[in-house]
């Protein structure tokens, strides 16, 4: 990056001394906003096309501008562009280079436009593409999850509340719970996209412009749904970026919760799943270690994305209308939120199909911890005992089991009968893990046939996108 403090500023007319060298660096954004170049050039091409359509530029001028911009695009993509800090941002770097290359015609591009509507347009175009890429990764992750769930519709594991064994569930059911969170995230992302996809171009600095511009045309050329409705709002609003960051914070929160479970499940203490070596790393001192770094990092990265949401909310909260330079600070949080979410979704989408459940271990764990105690209570209720009394009876049976080191299903009928004489031989059907999950046979329940049906529905929802 060059720092030629003597170069002429595009806005230098009313200034009598050069910008202070530190101030120049302090106010510049080109180091981080150059990633907008592709969308900046697309916005400029649409603007030039519109200016020609309404007679502000000639067709020749338009073609010269478009050819020049496309050549600049190629050079930037090839890494052959010399970015200059003294030209402040991506917009002025590209425009100055255009004028360097095509001469006076380049100076006409900015007619009827300001960097204020230009930058708002660029961010929206950029974010729209990133939303689509993120949506695809989210879809890939959900496909993997639902397939794994479908394959494990009858794999029994303990379900937890308070991280204490509660009732048996199926692994498929647990995975579909994650999918529900991600399905809502996808819906939120698509809803956010609608508000991102509005064109601020033509709002100019804040009040609109005196040229006979056609905002419908630029909106259409750029694939926006419509022009925004108020010029002041158009240049100052960043709530579309805040909305994206709140989506990002939520999806990261969901990935973080799943990560936490993956980390627990890979531990020797749980031993519920095996994570292939390629998603883990070793320890430099303890040779036996295989650490679940990928889920740990996803969990860790959630913090910074939550932070970006707070940064943007705080950035906006005191800004008077319309554009303020504060808004230049929108980019780094937004870009980092985009990059982080995309990487984490990619890591998860790659990792989930590679998970193999250690079924025996899940099953053994579900057998410990009296996970069918509620089933016994429900059984007693069916035999006419009020629920509160049956709760008491089962509590006593569990205390006995703890003392005798026996699960409920391992006790004899005689042993069980000491707590209630309504207990008969048929009790063993409800005390098995299979019987317990199969009995929760309703929409949203953990019965294997319900899990199968839920997986099929989830798959259909994903395919309908
Ligand atoms: N780099 C600026 C930003 O990111 C572009 C808009 C600057 N507009 C201005 N009037 N200084 O927001």
pLDDT value, residue 281: 84
pLDDT value, residue 369: 87
Q: For residue 324, how far is its CA from the centre of ligand 1 (angstroms)?
A: 8
Q: For residue 459, how far is its CA from the centre of ligand 1 (angstroms)?
A: 44
Q: For residue 66, how far is its CA from the centre of ligand 1 (angstroms)?
A: 23
Comparison of pLDDT for 89 and 283, the residue scoring more? 89
Residue in the structure block whose two tokens are 């609003």: 237
- 125-165: per-residue pLDDT in tens? 999 999 999 999 999 999 999 999 999 999 999 999 999 99
Burial of 99 (0-12, 13-18, 19+ CB in 10 A): middle
Q: For residue 234, how far is its CA from the centre of ligand 1 (angstroms)?
A: 14
Q: Report residue 261 CA to chain centroid gap.
A: 19
Annotated catalytic, 162?
yes
> What's the rounded Cα separation, in Å, for the pair 416 and 396?
10
Which percentage of the chain shows pLDDT scores above 70?
98
Question: Residue 8: pLDDT band by 50, 70, 90 thresholds?
Answer: confident
| Residue among 188, 182, 187 at smallest CA distance from 255 | 182
Average pLDDT rounded to a whole number, residues 333-343:
98
Does residue 6 surpass a pLDDT of 50? no
Average pLDDT rounded to a whole number, residues 64-83:
98
Q: What is the DSSP string of 268-306?
A: TTT--EE--GGG-B--SS-TT--B-HHHHHHHHHHHHHH
pLDDT value, residue 206: 98
The CA-based dihedral angle spanning residues 265, 268, 273, 279, taken in that order and rounded to the nearest 10 degrees: 90
Regarding the beta carbon of 118 and ligand 1, being less than 6 Å apart is answered no
- Report all structural domains of the chain as residue ranges with CATH numbers, in order of start: 19-111 (1.10.275.10), 116-202+237-363 (1.20.200.10), 373-431 (1.10.40.30)
Average pLDDT rounded to a whole number, residues 4-16:
75
> What's the rounded Cα separation, in Å, for the pair 194 and 69?
28
Q: For residue 46, how far is its CA from the centre of ligand 1 (angstroms)?
A: 20
Does residue 294 surpass a pLDDT of 80? yes
Mutate to test the pocket of ligand 1, among 114, 116, 326 (most ligand atoms within 8 A of CB): 116
Regarding the beta carbon of 317 and ligand 1, being less than 6 Å apart is answered no
Reduced to 3 states, what is the DSSP secondary structure of residue 227?
strand
> What's the rounded Cα separation, in Å, for the pair 431 and 86?
75
Mutate to test the pocket of ligand 1, among 36, 40, 119, 201 (most ligand atoms within 8 A of CB): 119
- 275-284: per-residue pLDDT in tens? 988 988 888 8
Q: What is the DSSP string of 41-61?
A: HHHHHHHHHHHHHTTSS-HHH
Q: CB–CB of 403/413 below 8 Å?
A: no
Does residue 439 surpass a pLDDT of 70? yes
Residues in contact with 238: Cβ distance below 8 Å, sequence separation at least 6, in sequence order: 123, 312, 315, 316, 327, 330
Regarding the beta carbon of 197 and ligand 1, being less than 6 Å apart is answered no
Average pLDDT rounded to a whole number, residues 411-428:
96
Contacts 24+ apart (CB under 8 A), 171-176: 171/357, 171/362, 172/148, 172/448, 172/451, 172/452, 172/455, 173/149, 173/446, 173/451, 173/454, 175/145, 175/146, 175/148, 175/149, 176/145, 176/146, 176/149, 176/451, 176/454, 176/455, 176/458
pLDDT value, residue 5: 45
Regarding the beta carbon of 328 and ligand 1, being less than 6 Å apart is answered yes
Regarding the beta carbon of 119 and ligand 1, being less than 6 Å apart is answered yes
Query: Average per-residue pLDDT in the chain?
Result: 96
- 182-200: per-residue pLDDT in tens? 999 999 999 999 999 999 9
The single residue of 6, 16, 162, 442 carrying the catalytic annotation is: 162
């Amino acid at each position: 990056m060059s720092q030629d403090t003597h170069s002429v500023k595009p806005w230098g007319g009313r200034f009598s001394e050069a910008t202070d060298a530190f101030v120049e660096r302090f106010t510049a954004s080109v180091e981080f906003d150059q990633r907008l170049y592709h969308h900046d050039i697309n916005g400029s091409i649409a603007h030039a096309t519109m200016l020609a359509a309404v007679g502000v530029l000639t067709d020749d001028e338009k073609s010269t501008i478009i050819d020049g911009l496309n050549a600049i695009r190629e050079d930037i993509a090839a890494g052959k562009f010399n970015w200059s800090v003294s030209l402040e941002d991506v917009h002025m770097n590209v425009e100055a280079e255009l004028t360097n290359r095509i001469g006076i015609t380049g100076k006409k591009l900015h007619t009827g436009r300001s960097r204020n509507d230009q930058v708002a347009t660029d961010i929206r175009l950029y974010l729209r593409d990133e939303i689509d890429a993120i949506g695809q990764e989210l879809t890939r992750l959900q496909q993997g999850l639902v397939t794994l769930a479908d394959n494990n519709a009858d794999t029994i594991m303990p379900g937890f509340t308070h991280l204490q064994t509660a009732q048996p569930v199926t692994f498929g059911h647990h995975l579909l719970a994650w999918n529900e969170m991600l399905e809502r995230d996808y819906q939120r992302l698509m809803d956010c996209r609608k508000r991102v996809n509005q064109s601020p171009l033509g709002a100019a600095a804040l009040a609109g412009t005196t040229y006979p511009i056609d905002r419908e045309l630029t909106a259409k050329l750029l694939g926006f749904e419509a022009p925004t409705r108020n010029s002041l709002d158009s240049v100052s609003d960043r709530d579309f970026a805040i909305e994206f960051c709140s989506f990002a914070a939520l999806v990261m929160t969901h990935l973080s919760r799943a990560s936490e479970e993956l980390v627990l499940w890979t531990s020797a203490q749980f031993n519920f799943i095996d994570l292939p070596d390629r998603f883990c790393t070793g320890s430099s001192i303890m040779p036996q270690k295989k650490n679940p770094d990928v889920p740990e990092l996803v969990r860790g990265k959630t913090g910074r994305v939550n932070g970006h949401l707070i940064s943007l909310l705080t950035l906006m909260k005191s800004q008077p209308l319309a554009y303020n330079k504060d808004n230049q600070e929108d980019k780094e949080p937004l870009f980092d939120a985009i990059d982080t979410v995309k990487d984490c979704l990619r890591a998860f989408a790659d990792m989930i199909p590679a998970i193999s459940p250690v079924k025996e271990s899940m099953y053994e764990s579900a057998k410990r911890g009296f996970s069918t105690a509620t089933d016994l209570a429900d059984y007693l209720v069916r035999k006419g005992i009020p629920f509160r009394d049956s709760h008491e009876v089962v509590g006593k049976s569990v205390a006995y089991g703890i003392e005798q080191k026996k699960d409920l299903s391992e006790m004899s009928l005689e042993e069980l009968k000491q707590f209630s004489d309504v207990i008969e031989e048929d009790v063993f059907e409800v005390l098995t893990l299979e019987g317990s999950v199969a009995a929760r046979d309703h929409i949203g329940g953990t019965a294997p046939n319900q899990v199968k049906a839920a997986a099929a529905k989830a798959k259909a929802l994903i395919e309908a996108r």
